[in-house]
Amino acid sequence: MPVVGVRQEKWVVVAPYNGEYEFPSVSVDWWNAATGKQATARIEPTKMVVTGGAAPPVGTPPVPAKSAAPELPAQADKAAGSAAADADTSWFSWSRFAAVLLLIWAVLSLAWLAWLWWQKHRRSPPRQTLAAPRKLDAKAVWKRLEQACQQNQPQATHDALVQWLDVGLNIRPLNC
């Protein structure tokens, strides 16, 4: 079965003013499978007359139509360079946008940290020095332990035993 390929290109031209526009010739190289050789398809230059639109401003030369032919690589590089130059002169660029977002983020982060610091210092009441806890002696704690045991009070016995271990034996239990 032979290989069949079709390529269609459609171009739309919007003329800015009334007048005569000339389009250059277009040529497309292709491979002819029947002959086994490269062939060139060509469309001759075409003239187009535009009427019914606005007349060009007085004193301005007519605007030549842009080529509908595919651009050569050198022309494409020039067009890309001019597009990049146009992007640099415009008011918007991605690098400026990113820099502005970074600046906004930094200002908001600093403001948030300042607000947290202010909230922390505003809420904290003035510190008062607490009186040193009364030092218990081992005999008083031992008597409390005996009393709790005699009265059969398990919670009081536990608390007194923990106190006695701390005061009497200088041992601090881990989970009490």
Per the domain annotation, does 63 fall within a domain? yes
Per the domain annotation, does 84 fall within a domain? no
Q: What share of the chain is helix, strand, coil (3-state, %, to 5)?
A: 40, 15, 45
Per the domain annotation, does 149 fall within a domain? yes
pLDDT computed for residue 65 by the predictor: 53
pLDDT computed for residue 56 by the predictor: 66
Mean pLDDT across the chain, nearest whole number?
79
**15-37 pLDDT, tens per residue?**
888 888 888 998 989 888 889 99
pLDDT computed for residue 124 by the predictor: 64
Q: What is the distance between the alpha carbons of residues 82 and 76, in angstroms, rounded to a whole number?
A: 10
Per the domain annotation, does 16 fall within a domain? yes
Give the end of a domain, one of 27, 42, 68: 68
pLDDT computed for residue 141 by the predictor: 86
Radius of gyration of the chain measured on its C-alpha atoms: 46
Does residue 67 register a pLDDT over 90? Answer: no
Per the domain annotation, does 75 fall within a domain? no
Per the domain annotation, does 2 fall within a domain? no
For residue 18, what are the contacts with CB-CB under 8 A and spacing of at least 6? 50, 51, 52, 53, 54, 55, 56
Per the domain annotation, does 38 fall within a domain? yes
Q: What tokens does 147 get?
A: 């009393």
pLDDT computed for residue 147 by the predictor: 93
The number of domains in the chain is 2
Per the domain annotation, does 26 fall within a domain? yes
Which pTM does this prediction carry?
0.28
pLDDT computed for residue 155 by the predictor: 93
The residue among 158 and 71 whose pLDDT is bigger is 158
Give the end of a domain, one of 50, 68, 86: 68
**79-137 pLDDT, tens per residue?**
555 555 554 567 788 899 999 999 999 999 999 999 999 988 887 666 666 665 667 78
* Proportion of the chain above pLDDT 70, given as a percent: 66
pLDDT computed for residue 136 by the predictor: 75
Give the H/E segment covering residue 105: helix 94-123
Structural domain harbouring 156: 138-167
